[in-house]
Every structure is written in C-alpha cells, then in structure tokens.
Amino acid sequence: MTGAWPSWPRPPIPARSRDPLATGQGRRQIGFAGERAARLWGPRLDRLADAVLAVEIELLRRGALAASLLWCPHAELAPLLDRLRRAGLASKLVDASVSPFSPAGGGAAGELGRVTYGLLIGAGALEAAAASLAADDQERAARWFGYPACCARAWAARQAAGAVDPLAAVLSPAVPSADILLAGLGLGPLRHAPCDVACPATAASMRQFLDAARDLDLGEAADWLEAMADWPVEMSVVSGVAEVKTAVFRFAYRSDPLAAPRRCSSPGRSLPEAASSGHSSVFARSPTSSRPESRPESRKSLRIEPEALGAGWEAAGFDDVFALRSRWSTAVWEQGRALRRKPGRLVHLGCGDGLLLELAGHGLATAQLVGVEPDPALAAAARDRLRPDRGRVIAEPWSEALDALLACESGESLAFFDPLLFADMAPDLRTACLDRLRRLQARLIVVASDRGLRRFGSLERLARSIGLGIEPDRPHRISSPARVVPAETGAAA
C-alpha cells in the first residue's frame, strides 16, 4: 500500500478536520467480521488505497481536476514528489503535522519520521488554489477542487453552519447506493461532499472516477467499488461518532458532535465475499427485548451533554472521546461471536461511564450487565447509563470488587478489560487480582487502549506484561480472548 493518501473529502475541509488524522480515518478504524474477511478484504482495501491515489493523480494530469490535497509521511515524500514530477504535476507544501502515534527514533531523523506533510498538487500554478483555501469564499474554493456547483454551494453552507462531517446532513433513512455510506473510507468513487444522496452531478463524478480507474488498468479495483455500492450497509451517527457496518467490516469516524442522531441503510442486492454468517449487527436491539416502552421519569429527564458521552476517556488511556467510543464499538464488533453465545453476565472492569456495556448488551435481553469502576463519579455516570433492572456497578477497590463478582452466581460470563489496569499494580496485588480473574471462570476479553498500545507496542505484549496469553494470529485486532498463563510478568516498559 502506498504511503500517501488524498484527503477525504477534497478541500475545502473544516479547520478542525484539516489534519492527516482526520482524513481517511475510517480506514484506520476498521474492524473485520472474522479472520476470513480480514484475509480477503484487508489486502483489497490496501489496493483500493493505492488506486484512489493513482486515479486522483490521473484526473489532475488530464485537467479534469484543477487541484487536490494529499497527505504524505516524511519517509514517502521523495518517492511521491518524483511520481508527481513524472506525471507533469506541481506541488506546494501547505501543512505539516507530527503524528502522536508513530514511535520516533533518536535525534532529528527520528522526529522527522513522525511528520506528515499536506501537499497541494495540480497541473498548473497552485497559488490560486492555495489562496482559495485561505479566503472566506468556501463555495469558490470547492469549485477549485472539483465540486459540482450544487455540491459546492451546499457544502459551503453546511460548513458555515459548523458542520465537519461531509455526509451527516444529507443522510436519509434509505440511501439508494452504499457508496455514499462507504465514502468515509476515503477510497472513492465519491471524493467530495455531496449535496444530496441522489445528486446527478455526484453520480457523474463517481462514474468519471471509475472510468479513469479502468483507463489505468485498475479495472479490478473499479469492479470492487461497484460491487461494494450494491452491498447492504447500515450507518448511524450518534453523539459525534459515525459508525458504518457491512457484512465483512465496520468502521467509525468523527462526525458532527451536535447533530441529531441519524440511522440509515442501503438495502443492497448482494452480499460481499467472506460475509459473516447471519450478519446481523451486534448493536441491533433484540426483537424480544423486555425494554419497557416508557422509561421512568428520571431517565426521561436525563440529558447527557455531547462532551460528556464517553466520560473518563483520558483516565482510561485514550487520546480523545472519539478514540474511546470507536475502540469500544470495534471491540464489541470483533467479539460478536462470543456475544452470540448469549452469556448470562457481561462484565467490564474499568467500565468508565458504562458505554461498552451498553453497546455489548444490545440484543442480549437477559444478560446481566456488571461494571467495575473505582472512580465514584464515573461509577455514577455508568449507573445513569445502564437500566437498573439489568445493570450493576461496583465502585470498590479492585480486590474487593473482584471478590464481590466471585460472590455472585452468574452462569457463563464474558469479562472485558484493559490489561493496563493491572500493569502498574504492586506485584502482590496484581497476582491476587489475576487469581480472582482465574477463579471468576469468565471468558476474558482484553481490549487495548491508546496508552497501552503506545507503551507496549501490541496487544500481545500488553497482555503478556501481566501474565495473560491471547489467541494467536491477531496482529490487526485491538481485542482478543485471553487466558491467565504461568509466565513471568514484567509490567515495566
């Protein structure tokens, strides 16, 4: 897969999204439905990433597009500039960002390895394109970057109203083509913010993209994109997070934080290769759910502000609320098989405000939800989130909380936790907690936080640091079943 990628959408991009971590972010938040889906569609998505860059360069070379914005890591900058020169394209540096996720080596060379550059590219002089981005006329800027007139006008108006998501405002309950819902991957054929899901000019631009791909002998990639447009796809936008689910993968990205919740779907006519059997969403509510039609007045009057959703993200080891919400929903997706076994009890150690339990509990009408959260404020938020007849939150120190879990009769249990919770405990306390986990006789699911991945480098090493082993061959997952194993536990890193 190439190291550079075009921005999604094409400029103009809202200021808060104008960085490499906010473009193509859906691709970095993918969770596959299973190992077979990952083996087949992981490489295909990588090839589509190569294809979208090739098509963007070709459209610029032909003059079908005046300018575009690419992001490129430092290590790939020289090869990209050479490729652009050979295509007869000019480039102009407009931004540089340092990634907090890439480990740096020593000295200046190591720091440069963490830099990602923003480059305007085009066939002619780029001063006018750069000036259009700096000006207040967003509609005119959008036309510079290939937007149809109707879409340029609509996107400028939405940005003026504070929108950051190119899609949220145009979604309706039924979307005719899945390529609209999959656009957040940044892989084409939709490359701009559309004015409507049925915009004829947008359909024409997508056709232009696919035709250019075939002209470049990228017909297989074009065929995949056309097939994906005919998949059944579901999408939700809730509390600033958009989540998109297909039968082979799901992904998430930042959306408009104050937008009204939306749910939509594209019915599709064909399932993808390697589709999961019975690809119903683990997030869907069970049709036999015993949830009452009306809630108690205290729940009706409760209003959680958008910034409070995912409360405790920093203490939990995440870089922002989006990272926490996306990680929990990805973990629930990855562990769909374990959830379909209908465990009698779902446990989350370090549950924060209870979001993971709420997500995992959808569709499991009879499962008891149990959170362990030593922080009293977060424990109170979790109690507010979970239904009293299904949820229990234990706000005790770890050893006492695990003793309380052991005292409960539960049947089969599924317990989620971040191994980093125990990594910094005194060895005696960690050993005692692991002994209680073993006696809990629950199926353990470890989930990696951003802090844990940065510190230990992988989910496997993070789990091993406290004496856990995970299932093999899970390099691309952020959650895994785990077991307590006899091993030397060295939490220091």
* Residue given tokens 């054929």 in the structure block: 189
- With 0-12 / 13-18 / 19 or more C-beta atoms within 10 angstroms meaning exposed / middle / buried, residue 458 is middle
Task: Let me know whether 247 and 344 are in one domain.
Answer: no
Taking alpha carbons only, the member of 325, 347, 236, 326 closest to residue 31 is 326
Can you read off the two tokens belonging to residue 476?
């691309």
Given 266, 287, 316, the domain boundary residue is 266
Alpha-carbon distance of 121 to 57, in angstroms, equals 9
Can you read off the two tokens belonging to residue 217?
């002998």
Does residue 493 form part of some domain? no
Contact (CB, 8 A) for 285 and 291: yes
pLDDT 10s digits, 222-250: 999 999 999 999 998 877 788 899 999 98
* Alpha helix stretches (DSSP H) within 90-199: 107-112, 127-134, 138-144, 149-160, 178-181
pLDDT 10s digits, 17-60: 444 444 555 555 688 887 888 889 989 999 999 999 999 999 99
Query: What per-residue confidence (pLDDT) applies to 355?
Result: 87
Say if residue 389's pLDDT is above 70.
yes
Query: 393: which strand partners?
Result: 371
- With 0-12 / 13-18 / 19 or more C-beta atoms within 10 angstroms meaning exposed / middle / buried, residue 8 is buried
Given 235, 266, 297, the domain boundary residue is 266
Instruction: Report how many domains make up the chain.
Output: 2
Greater pLDDT, 474 or 185: 185
Confidence of residue 180 (pLDDT cuts 50, 70, 90): very high
Does residue 286 form part of some domain? no
Total length of the chain: 493
Task: Let me know whether 262 and 343 are in one domain.
Answer: no
Does residue 355 form part of some domain? yes
Contact (CB, 8 A) for 308 and 316: no
Task: Let me know whether 233 and 327 are in one domain.
Answer: no
Does residue 121 form part of some domain? yes
Query: What per-residue confidence (pLDDT) applies to 326?
Result: 78
Contact (CB, 8 A) for 445 and 479: yes
Alpha-carbon distance of 329 to 325, in angstroms, equals 6
Average pLDDT over residues 310-321: 78
Q: Range of 382's domain?
A: 305-484
Query: What per-residue confidence (pLDDT) applies to 459?
Result: 85
Contacts of 225 (CB under 8 A, 6+ apart): 48, 179, 187, 188, 189, 210, 213
Give Cα 470 distance to the centre of its chain. Answer: 23
Task: Let me know whether 27 and 175 are in one domain.
Answer: yes
Task: Let me know whether 244 and 323 are in one domain.
Answer: no
Say if residue 284's pLDDT is above 50.
no
Greater pLDDT, 418 or 297: 418
Query: What per-residue confidence (pLDDT) applies to 410?
Result: 62
Task: Let me know whether 356 and 480 are in one domain.
Answer: yes
Contact (CB, 8 A) for 335 and 299: no
Given 205, 238, 266, the domain boundary residue is 266
Average pLDDT over residues 293-310: 40
pTM over 0.75: no
- With 0-12 / 13-18 / 19 or more C-beta atoms within 10 angstroms meaning exposed / middle / buried, residue 431 is middle
Contact (CB, 8 A) for 210 and 218: no
Burial letters for 398-410: b for 16+ Cβ neighbours within 10 Å, e otherwise?
Answer: beebbeebeeeeb
- Residue 454: which CATH number? 3.40.50.150
Say if residue 182's pLDDT is above 90.
yes
Query: What per-residue confidence (pLDDT) applies to 409?
Result: 60
Task: Let me know whether 262 and 309 are in one domain.
Answer: no
Greater pLDDT, 11 or 279: 11
Say if residue 407's pLDDT is above 50.
yes
Alpha-carbon distance of 210 to 146, in angstroms, equals 16
Task: Let me know whether 225 and 371 are in one domain.
Answer: no
